[in-house]
Amino acid sequence: MDFLLYLYCLLFGIILIAPFLLFYYRFRVDESPFGKEEGAYLRPINEKKSNLLDSLRDIRSDFDSGKLTEEEFQTQSLPYIEALDSLEVELKEIKANVAILPTPKIIENWTCANCGSFVAVPNAKFCPNCGTGRLA
């Protein structure tokens, strides 16, 4: 009798937890449904830069509306400008450290071994006339 109770509790727990796990793994916010983005590693830095620029715009609008004096504007905007400078340096270092992947070699022209026709299609694996594989 206790065995069935344990089994039903386990089954009920799985039924309760399964939708949360499904949504967690299926609908991740940080990943595009089309695969990894090229600059995904730069996203946090770009968001931080965007937030700092928004803060500077807010301070500038306060200064333009007369809420801040010139001295207050300069003292409040100085930390944001320094943070932006450090972010720019960090962004340049990250971009410099990223290894550029070599482009694949495109083999322009080849001749079919079966029919002898000239194939001018780049990276063609099969002959368009007879259908013979290039490596066959």
Per DSSP, the residues of 69-134 read: -HHHHHHHHHHHHHHHHHHHHHHHHHHHHSPPPPPPPP---EE-TTT--EE-STT--B-TTT--BT
Assess whether pLDDT exceeds 80 at residue 28: no
pLDDT top residue among 130 and 19: 19
End-to-end CA distance of the chain: 66
Q: How far apart (Å, rounded) are the C-alpha atoms in residues 78 and 135?
A: 65
Cα four-point dihedral sign 19, 22, 25, 31: negative
pLDDT top residue among 50 and 22: 50
Per DSSP, the residues of 13-34 read: HHHHHHHHHHHHHHS-SSSBTT
**Quick count: other Cβ atoms within 10 Å of Cβ 126?**
15
Looking at residue 93, its amino acid is E
Token digits for 48?
């931080």
pLDDT in tens, 75-86: 999 999 999 999
Task: Give the residue extent of every domain in the chain.
Answer: 43-101, 104-136
pLDDT of 93 reads: 86
Spacing of C-alpha 101 from chain mean position: 16
pLDDT of 79 reads: 92
